[in-house]
Amino acid sequence: MTGNDFTFTTLDGETHHLSDFYGTVVVLDCMAVNCQPCMRQMFELKKIAENYSANDVTILSIDVWVSSGETASMVQDTINAFKNQLNMTLDWTFGLDDAQGTIQNTFAPEGVPTLYIFDKKGNIYYSHVGYEDYSVLASTLDAVLSNG
């Protein structure tokens, strides 16, 4: 991990880095499937997915409690539950931290959810520990997008 860059694994097992998404504003959602506020946060992230172009904003929901036993299949079950029970497609990138909790220790040591907004160059523009409303996230996104 260099600077703000970090590495995560997608549910398909592919390795990605934050730097892969440079050029778009990135919303990093450090979450856990066992965390109820994290599930509530999904509704706010869905609004971002609906109201911002994927060319401008990338959403990354990373399960940072892998070291506590959370797995890709648990994350997939959660995505399926949103789809089947709420008819809501969580159509953004989901991934997992490593077993050592590298992302958790660096970006979410105080708990989950922890949210970050990175500008297009990967600099941290905003961070918040705990659930956050769409309105706050949207105004922050508008500000960082207007900065280029």
Partner 1 sequence: MKDKQKLLLFVIAISFIIPTIQTAIAAEPILGEVTLNPEHPTKLSKITFDVNVVGDDIKTVKIYVLECNETTGICQNSYDNQTMQHIGGSLYRANITLDFAPASYITYKVYVENNIGDITPLPNKQGVKVYLSTGSSNGNNSTNNNGNGSPGFEVVLFIVAVCVTGAIILLGRKRFR
In the complex, minimum distance from the CB of residue 6 to partner 1, in angstroms, rounded to a whole number: 20
Residues that bind partner 1 (CB under 8 A): 32, 34-41, 65, 68-69, 110-113, 129-132
Minimum CB distance to partner 1 smaller for 24 or for 114: 114
Minimum CB distance to partner 1 smaller for 40 or for 121: 40
Q: Distance (Å, rounded) from C-alpha 43 to C-alpha 74?
A: 18
Minimum CB distance to partner 1 smaller for 57 or for 108: 108
Closest to 7 in 3D by CA, of 99, 74, 128: 99
Residue 4: both structure tokens together: 């703000």
Q: Give residues with Cβ within 8 angstroms of 60, minimum separation 6.
A: 8, 18, 21, 26, 27, 28, 29, 92, 93, 94, 95
In the complex, minimum distance from the CB of residue 11 to partner 1, in angstroms, rounded to a whole number: 18
In the complex, minimum distance from the CB of residue 74 to partner 1, in angstroms, rounded to a whole number: 10
